[in-house]
């Protein structure tokens, strides 16, 4: 069979074989045109693609396959003309089937000549590329939509890099965030977005290496805009590979998250401030409680030594007693600093012009400095008055001057500056808007690193050598300022000195409105002593007896009231402030009702709880601090 078929084929003419070949092709329309453009042959592929049978189309002009627009424009004649002039025509365009539907055709037309070179027609091959065109159009549409999407994004910088890091394209977000137009940046290396420090460290190359090695790079850091300003960026870089697995570039997405970083830093700062505030509050409660108990112990010691000094005449014993008294005084001063920091120290706030307070205290401040220090006092001429305890303000100022002096061992300038200022809300942390008097103590000393400055107001924290400081100086200043309704700000840098600024609320009016001194009550011969601590009570009784008083005593407020009812001729009530049940302030108020004109003296090392229940008490009555001396009580009685 195979042999017979081969014999049959070999007997067929070449033209017959060609006809059978063309007839069997169905993916291509292959046919001949006369020199005028009429169809002279037709294959199976032509019938499948264009829809005409051989009988329907032979003799028809090929222009019927063109659209009306192309026929009106003379396209069919031009294609034949091109084929003749150039030896070939090849192109793509819309063609029309028998049923009127259109398809996208790829067309090749070749002129056909005989052996003598005469034109005998045209060979025309057409292929239906509709599906390919639709795919291309869909791809182009998809790419166009993607391009519109990328260009429409303004919150993200989205662009491509070459494998070596040059910018290949640029979206609107990149222009908005980084400041460069597409013409300015395309072709430039992306390292220009990095800081000088990062470029010097080779970071741009490192991030591309990481993206290739790990398949992705993601990080946050400082980047630089065209105008030189910095922004905090979140960066993602992905490598892009071809179908063959070759690296063809990188996709880079950058977002400006500066606001988020600032918000996070502000939140962290607020959190740290809250933690610091809570820590200081806890320290304040602890130190206040310790100071109260310690003052009661010191009261017994100080009063006892004072009584002993009246009985002992031996020089050796007197020397010992003097040393003990000095030690007790140092302990008392330390507890007063603790109480000031804890804001548990009783205050006598009066209207003062701080320029006048500083001027009266200037000699002491100058003596606190050494010969190498230049003392510079700059006082505002129209300084507003403030409500402060002048004694505590002087102590705070002396602490600041002493610290500045110690920070300038080789000399320098110490400045005290007073000013009127108006603060906006949040201009100074923890300070509301309003008028303030600002007092600044500034030195040109060694300065403090940030971690030391952050802890400077903690009680007992000090960088001084052992024996040269208790670490309570700035704590006392902090407590005084806060108890006065103000704020303290420390600014310091290593090698650039330190500024400590106090903000105290200004009030209206001048010095003529200052609080007048209280009237001096008369002293008497009979005193009632009240204290819930037995040792303190016993020592106070002995002090008053030594001053010549007839003494009655009670260890609580209710018993004292009963004594006052039975003995209405008592002249002086000397009472502790903090006692269980009835506190000393309430006791003093009730005593005044029972014995009008009685002199009331309050004593305490920690009066804050009682002040909370009767805030006016410390202004109504005289007050002495524990540990007290007989001379202090006598001075108070004489006032």
Give the DSSP per-residue string, 81-121: HHHHHHS-EEEEEEEE-TTS-EEEEEEEEEEEE-TT--EEE
- Point out which residues pair with 160 in neighbouring strands: 251
24 lies in the same domain as 56 = yes
Q: Is residue 460 part of a domain?
A: yes
Q: Is residue 495 part of a domain?
A: yes
91 lies in the same domain as 164 = no
Place of tokens 């008053």: 544
Average pLDDT (176-187) is 91
Answer yes or no: is pLDDT of 468 > 50. Answer: no
CATH number of the domain residue 369 falls in: 3.30.565.10
503 lies in the same domain as 377 = yes
- Point out which residues pair with 235 in neighbouring strands: 219, 254
568 lies in the same domain as 623 = yes
Confidence band for 215, pLDDT divided at 50, 70 and 90: very high
CA 205 to chain centre: 31
Q: Are 112 and 84 in contact (CB under 8 A)?
A: no
403 lies in the same domain as 546 = no
Query: Tell me, what's the pLDDT at 260?
Result: 87
Answer yes or no: is pLDDT of 306 > 90. Answer: no
Taken in order 579, 585, 591, 597, is the CA torsion positive or negative? positive
State percent of the chain over pLDDT 70.
73
How is residue 29 written in tokens? 């329309």
pLDDT per residue as tens digits for the range 137-154: 776 765 566 565 556 667
629: left (phi over 0), alpha (psi -120 to 50) or beta: beta
Confidence band for 633, pLDDT divided at 50, 70 and 90: confident
User: What angle in degrees, to the nearest 10, is found between the helix axes of 354-368 and 390-406?
Assistant: 40
Place of tokens 């330390």: 334
Query: Tell me, what's the pLDDT at 397?
Result: 86
For residue 163, give the 3-state DSSP assignment: coil
Query: Tell me, what's the pLDDT at 514?
Result: 39
Query: Tell me, what's the pLDDT at 172?
Result: 87
Distance CA 539, CA 545 (A): 10
Write down the pTM of the prediction: 0.38
How is residue 376 written in tokens? 């510079």
234 lies in the same domain as 366 = no
Long-range contact set of residues 456-462: C-beta below 8 Å, sequence gap at least 24? 456/490, 457/280, 457/341, 457/488, 457/490, 458/280, 458/283, 459/283, 459/287, 459/338, 459/341
The alpha carbons of the chain give a radius of gyration, in whole angstroms, of 50
Cα dihedral value 37, 39, 44, 46, nearest 10:
30
Count CB neighbours of 74 within 10 A: 12
Query: How far are the Cα atoms of 20, 235, 608, 625 from residue 583, in angstroms, in the given order?
Result: 126, 65, 11, 16
Confidence band for 136, pLDDT divided at 50, 70 and 90: confident
How is residue 136 written in tokens? 């291309």
pLDDT per residue as tens digits for the range 70-89: 999 999 999 999 999 999 99
Angle at 539 between CA 535 and CA 542, to 5 degrees: 145
Residue 309 vs residue 359, higher pLDDT:
359
Q: Is residue 330 part of a domain?
A: no
Query: Tell me, what's the pLDDT at 101?
Result: 94
Q: Is residue 299 part of a domain?
A: no
CATH number of the domain residue 100 falls in: 3.30.450.20
pLDDT per residue as tens digits for the range 425-460: 878 887 888 899 999 999 998 888 887 776 767 655
Last residue of a domain, one of 75, 94, 129: 129
Residue 280 vs residue 324, higher pLDDT:
324
The DSSP secondary-structure symbol of 256 reads E
Residue 379 vs residue 134, higher pLDDT:
379
Q: Is residue 409 part of a domain?
A: yes
Answer yes or no: is pLDDT of 470 > 50. Answer: no
Distance CA 571, CA 548 (A): 13
Last residue of a domain, one of 207, 235, 256: 256
Give the DSSP per-residue string, 129-156: -HHHHHHHHHHHHHHHHHHHHHHH--SE
Distance CA 434, CA 18 (A): 105
Answer yes or no: is pLDDT of 617 > 60. Answer: no
Query: Tell me, what's the pLDDT at 639?
Result: 64
Please choose, from the candidates 69, 73, 130, the residue with its C-alpha nearest in 3D space to the C-alpha of residue 101. Answer: 130
378 lies in the same domain as 493 = yes
Compute φ and ψ for 170, nearest 5 degrees.
-155, 130
Q: Are 46 and 26 in contact (CB under 8 A)?
A: no
pLDDT per residue as tens digits for the range 509-530: 544 443 333 333 344 478 999 9
Answer yes or no: is pLDDT of 593 > 60. Answer: yes
Average pLDDT (240-254) is 90
Distance CA 543, CA 304 (A): 9
- Tell me, letter by letter, the H, E, C secondary structure of 267-286: HHHHHHHHHHHHHHHHHHHH
- Point out which residues pair with 256 in neighbouring strands: 233
Domain that holds residue 124: 2-129
Answer yes or no: is pLDDT of 178 > 70. Answer: yes
Query: Tell me, what's the pLDDT at 163?
Result: 93
109 lies in the same domain as 6 = yes
356 lies in the same domain as 428 = yes
Distance CA 604, CA 609 (A): 11
527: left (phi over 0), alpha (psi -120 to 50) or beta: beta
DSSP E strands, 536-606: 550-554, 572-576, 599-604
Q: Is residue 316 part of a domain?
A: no
Query: Tell me, what's the pLDDT at 414?
Result: 92
- Tell me, letter by letter, the H, E, C secondary structure of 448-515: CCHHHHHHCCCCCCCCCCCCCCCCCHHHHHHHHHHHCCCEEEEEEECCCEEEEEEEEEECCCCHHHCC
Q: Is residue 497 part of a domain?
A: yes
Query: Tell me, what's the pLDDT at 4?
Result: 46
508 lies in the same domain as 383 = yes
CATH number of the domain residue 561 falls in: 3.40.50.2300
Last residue of a domain, one of 233, 256, 279: 256
Give the number of domains in the chain.
Answer: 4
Q: Is residue 291 part of a domain?
A: no
120 lies in the same domain as 231 = no
398 lies in the same domain as 532 = no
First-to-final CA distance of the chain: 147
């Amino acid at each position: 069979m195979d042999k017979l078929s081969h014999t049959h084929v070999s007997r067929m003419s070449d033209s017959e074989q060609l006809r059978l070949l063309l007839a069997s092709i169905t993916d291509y329309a292959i046919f001949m045109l006369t020199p005028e453009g009429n169809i002279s042959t037709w294959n199976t592929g032509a019938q499948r693609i264009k829809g005409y049978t051989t009988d329907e189309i032979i003799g028809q002009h090929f222009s019927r396959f063109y659209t009306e627009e192309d026929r009106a424009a003379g396209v069919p004649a031009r294609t034949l003309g091109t084929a003749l002039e150039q030896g070939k025509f090849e192109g793509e365009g819309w063609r029309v089937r028998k049923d009127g539907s259109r398809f996208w055709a790829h067309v090749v037309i070749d002129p056909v000549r005989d052996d003598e070179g005469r034109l005998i027609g045209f060979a025309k091959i057409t292929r239906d590329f509709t599906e390919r065109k639709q795919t291309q159009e869909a791809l182009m549409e998809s790419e166009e939509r993607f391009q519109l999407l990328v260009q429409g994004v303004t919150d993200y910088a989205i662009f491509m890099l070459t494998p070596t890091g040059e910018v290949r394209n640029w979206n609107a977000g990149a222009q908005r965030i980084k400041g460069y137009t597409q013409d300015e940046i395309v072709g430039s290396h992306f390292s220009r977005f990095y800081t000088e420090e990062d470029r010097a460290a080779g970071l741009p190359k490192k991030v591309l290496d990481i993206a290739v090695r790990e398949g992705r790079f993601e990080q946050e850091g400082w980047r630089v805009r065209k105008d030189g300003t910095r922004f905090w960026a979140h960066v993602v870089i992905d490598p892009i590979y071809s179908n063959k697995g070759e690296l063809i570039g990188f996709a880079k997405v950058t977002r400006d998250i500066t606001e988020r970083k600032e918000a996070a830093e502000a939140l962290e700062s607020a959190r740290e401030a809250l933690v610091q505030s809570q820590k200081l509050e806890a320290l304040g409660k602890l130190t206040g409680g310790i100071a109260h108990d310690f003052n009661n112990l010191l009261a017994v010691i100080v009063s006892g030594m004072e009584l002993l000094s009246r009985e002992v005449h031996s020089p050796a014993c007197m020397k010992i007693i003097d040393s003990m008294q000095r030690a007790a005084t140092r302990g008392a001063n330390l507890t007063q600093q603790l109480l000031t920091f804890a804001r548990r120290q009783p205050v006598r706030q009066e209207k003062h012009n701080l320029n006048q307070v500083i001027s009266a205290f200037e000699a002491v401040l100058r003596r606190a400095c050494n010969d190498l220090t230049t003392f510079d006092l700059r006082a505002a001429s129209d300084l507003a008055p403030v409500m402060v305890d002048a004694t505590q303000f002087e102590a705070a100022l002396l602490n600041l001057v002493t610290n500045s002096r110690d920070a300038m061992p080789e000399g320098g300038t110490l400045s005290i500056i007073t000013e009127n200022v108006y603060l906006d809300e949040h201009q100074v942390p923890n300070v509301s808007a309003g008028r303030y008097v600002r007092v600044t103590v500034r030195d040109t000393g060694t300065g403090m690193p940030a971690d030391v400055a952050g802890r400077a107001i903690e009680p007992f924290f000090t960088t001084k050598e052992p024996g040269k400081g208790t670490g309570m100086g700035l704590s006392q200043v902090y407590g005084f300022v806060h108890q006065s309704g103000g704020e303290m700000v420390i600014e310091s840098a290593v090698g650039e000195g330190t500024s400590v600024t106090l903000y105290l609320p200004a009030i209206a009016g001048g010095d003529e409105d200052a609080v007048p001194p209280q009237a001096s009550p008369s002293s008497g011969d009979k005193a009632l002593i009240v204290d819930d601590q037995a040792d303190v009570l016993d020592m106070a009784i002995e002090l008053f007896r030594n001053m010549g008083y007839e003494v009655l005593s009670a260890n609580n407020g209710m018993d004292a009231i009963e004594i006052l009812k039975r003995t209405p001729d008592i002249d002086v009530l000397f009472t502790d402030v903090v006692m269980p049940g009835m506190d000393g302030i309430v006791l003093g108020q009730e005593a005044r009702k029972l014995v009008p004109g009685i002199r009331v003296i309050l004593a305490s090392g920690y009066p804050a709880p009682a002040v909370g229940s009767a805030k006016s008490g410390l202004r109504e009555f005289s007050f002495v601090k524990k540990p007290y001396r007989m001379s202090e009580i006598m001075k108070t009685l004489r006032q």
